[in-house]
């Protein structure tokens, strides 16, 4: 009767041992003078397996983080992410310093990126939301204001310029969404004409690391691109709304607007895009069912509201302020 539970424990131990073994080999290859003293799996990684490795580096304690791009990885190759982090770190952006890249497939069957470990966490206290979200908005605006030509060694990144017509690939099901779809298809919307900005691509609470109430690092640049900064702003607005409601979204947007002008029409178009894509894919993110249900309600509301602004010729930001107490 005890055989099955015991076999389960053995299988779990074997998987842990194999993972630890290949991570040990990775450290031996790239940090030959260091000794592994501990390995801990970090939570939050959706498209990469992430571990913190504690080291004894010639008598001094040190920790690094290993990001392993597995089968679910859909972002940039590890080599692009490594080069991007190098360029950003050297330019003063708050990112972990990249330490090693392994794409040999001899140590691991997947590409691995080793970065410095920065102490902190992604928790934003409810009593200090304003303080944290203002810092987050300042950081995103700072990223968008970086002069691309001044980033030495910046790798080639994809363009992200227009939300249409790709948004229709993720369009919500149901006939109630067809009038907005027809409206968007029948109008000639202004194209992006500004200077291309560096885009993070996934600027949400879990990718922000805080220490003592101060932003310490912006993590996970695997979806970075160049193009319209309002694509980043729209995505972040929806992400912060998931967690902090409409008021949190408004705090974030208001802080961002102190740095950069916002075209309300293009913001509405991008909000429809990111919310539609979000509700389409969020079932694959491994989140609890009730969390997905909440996020889908918010995403559909975001589509509806941005659509109402466009169809009625209203300013989306003004509408936000009028509805600030809603979710």
Mind listing the pLDDT tens digit of every residue in the chain (327 residues)?
A: 444 444 454 444 444 445 688 899 999 999 999 999 999 998 755 667 899 999 999 999 999 999 998 666 567 899 999 999 999 999 999 999 999 999 998 888 889 999 999 999 999 998 899 999 999 999 999 999 998 888 889 999 999 999 999 999 999 999 999 999 999 999 999 999 999 999 999 999 999 999 999 999 999 999 999 999 999 999 999 999 999 999 999 999 999 999 999 999 999 999 999 999 999 999 988 899 999 999 999 999 999 999 999 999 999 999 998 886 555
C-alpha dihedral (207, 210, 216, 218), degrees to nearest 10: 10
Task: With CA atoms as reference, report the closest residue to 136 among 58, 206, 50.
Answer: 206
Tally of domains within the chain: 2
Same domain, 134 and 38: no
Task: Tell me if 266 is assigned to some domain.
Answer: yes
Same domain, 145 and 271: yes
Task: Tell me if 91 is assigned to some domain.
Answer: yes
Domain CATH code at residue 195: 3.90.1200.10
Same domain, 136 and 36: no
Task: With CA atoms as reference, report the closest residue to 304 among 284, 285, 323.
Answer: 323
Domain final position from 82, 116, 150? 116
Q: What is the pLDDT of residue 250?
A: 95
| pTM score, whole prediction | 0.89
Same domain, 287 and 215: yes
Which structural domain range is residue 279 located in? 126-322
How many beta carbons lie within 10 A of that of residue 249, not counting itself? 23
Domain CATH code at residue 111: 3.30.200.20
Q: Is the four-CA dihedral 94, 102, 148, 317 of positive or negative sign?
A: negative
Task: Tell me if 130 is assigned to some domain.
Answer: yes
Q: What is the pLDDT of residue 5?
A: 46
Say if residue 268 is exposed, middle or buried (CB neighbours under 10 Å; 0-12, 13-18, 19+). buried
């Amino acid at each position: 009767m005890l055989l099955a539970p015991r076999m389960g424990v053995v299988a779990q131990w074997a998987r842990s041992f194999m993972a630890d073994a290949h991570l040990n080999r990775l450290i031996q290859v790239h940090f030959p003078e260091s000794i592994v003293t501990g390995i801990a799996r970090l939570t939050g990684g959706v498209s990469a397996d992430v571990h913190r490795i504690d080291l004894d580096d010639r008598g001094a304690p040190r920790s690094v983080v290993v990001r392993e791009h597995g089968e679910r990885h859909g972002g940039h190759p590890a080599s692009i992410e490594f080069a991007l982090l190098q360029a950003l770190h050297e330019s003063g952006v708050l990112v972990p310093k990249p330490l090693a890249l392994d794409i040999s497939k001899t140590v691991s069957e997947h590409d691995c990126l080793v970065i410095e470990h920065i102490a902190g966490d992604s928790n934003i206290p409810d009593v200090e939301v304003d303080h944290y979200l203002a810092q987050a908005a300042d950081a995103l605006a700072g990223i968008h204001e970086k002069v691309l030509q001044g980033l030495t060694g910046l790798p080639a990144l994809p363009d992200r310029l227009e939300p249409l017509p790709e948004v229709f690939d993720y369009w919500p099901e149901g006939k109630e969404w067809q009038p907005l779809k027809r409206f968007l298809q029948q109008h000639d919307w202004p194209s992006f004409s500004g200077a291309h900005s560096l885009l993070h691509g996934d600027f949400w609470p879990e990718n922000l690391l805080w220490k003592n109430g101060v932003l310490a690092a912006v993590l996970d640049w695997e979806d970075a691109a160049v193009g319209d900064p309002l694509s980043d702003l729209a995505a972040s607005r929806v992400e912060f709304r998931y967690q902090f409601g409409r008021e949190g979204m408004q705090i974030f947007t208001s802080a961002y607007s102190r740095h950069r002008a916002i075209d309300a029409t293009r913001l509405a178009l991008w909000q429809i895009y990111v919310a539609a894509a979000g509700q389409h894919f969020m079932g694959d993110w491994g989140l609890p069912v009730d969390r997905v249900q909440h996020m889908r309600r918010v995403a559909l509301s975001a589509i509806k509201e941005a659509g109402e602004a466009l169809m009625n010729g209203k300013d989306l930001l003004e509408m936000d302020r009028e509805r600030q107490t809603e979710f």
